Amino acid sequence: MQRVAKTVLLALLCGLFSAHLYAKTAAQLKLQVTLDAGVIKVADIWGDAGAKADTVIGPAPPPGRSIAIEAGQLAYIAHLYDVNWRPISGVERTTVERAGRPLTHDEVSEPVRRSLVEAGAPPNVTVELANVAPILVPPLSFPLVSAEAVAYDLAAERFSADLVISTDGMQTQRMRVSGKILQMVTAVVAARRLEPGDVITAADVRAMPVAERRAVGVLASNISEVVGQTPKRTIVAGQPVATADVGPPVMVPKGATVVLLLETPNMSLASQGLALGAGGRDDVIQVMNPISRAVVAARVTGAGRAVVLPGSTPIVPPARATPRNPEVMN
């Protein structure tokens, strides 16, 4: 009788130990899983998954996509890989999401541009894609992007191509893209709003590629062409600067008093005159002597200063007729 009691006690202790061990090592189901890798492992779904935690269950969803694993599938996977877990309610569910990042515009457009050039398009073209859905790839990947079956019409400024995207951890993706072909030129573009009278500095403009069809007139292509100049009209930020839109800063406003210098081999004479037109450095304007009303052509040399052009013949307007004195007439 004593031996039976010992046996029962031993069995009870073993059962309690086993229950305690089971409770201690039971796997914990993860309800939401976000993956960076291209495969799903047992440990991705359960914590304390056991000896087979690093075993691959299957492929992960594509980047940016998710899948749901229901209770029945979870029970089967747990049984298959010796995971100490069983469904309780029967509605357990795990959502597995794959992280992804969209390809940048340059990652998509540059391979297309290179393929267009190889197909005979001018080397200065760029492409403008039309309604391309975001293409997602693994966040830390360096995808290989290429363009195949390229077709383009330079006259119509249109193209189409098959975009092929491949990288580790995802299946190769293919999609048809289309868009516009733009021929580019280097131009000076206003970095801020420029008004007449502003003296343009290097910080006010930048050189960048612009679509050739945006060119109106001859565009400045080098910043040095416009620095120190002043706009002849308002130029808004982002607008290409045409050479005809800028000129030297006005040093002599119209109607301003001018120090007029007359130089000959034998003398140098300075006087004051009235500017009949505005001018910048080296511009030729007409200046009138306010006393004699003679008008000469003069070259602007600085702020409020001008030199009479050699050989300039003064133009004297006809004197106004003096009205007769009625008293003398009588």
pTM for this predicted structure: 0.52
Q: Amino acid identity of 282?
A: D
pLDDT attached to residue 105 = 86
At 4 the three-state DSSP class reads: helix
pLDDT attached to residue 236 = 94
pLDDT attached to residue 121 = 85
b/e per residue 123-160 (b: at least 16 CB within 10 A): eebbbeeeebeebbbbeebebebebeebebeeeebebb
Residue 296 · residue 309 · CB < 8 Å:
yes
- Residue 77: pLDDT band with limits 50, 70, 90: very high
321, 324, 266, 263: which is closest to 296 by C-alpha? 263
Fold entry, domain 250-308:
SH3 type barrels. (2.30.30)
Most confident of 40-44, 123-127, 128-132: 40-44
pLDDT, tens digit (0-9, with 9 covering 90-100), for 224-281: 999 999 998 999 999 999 998 898 888 888 999 999 998 887 888 888 999 999 888 8
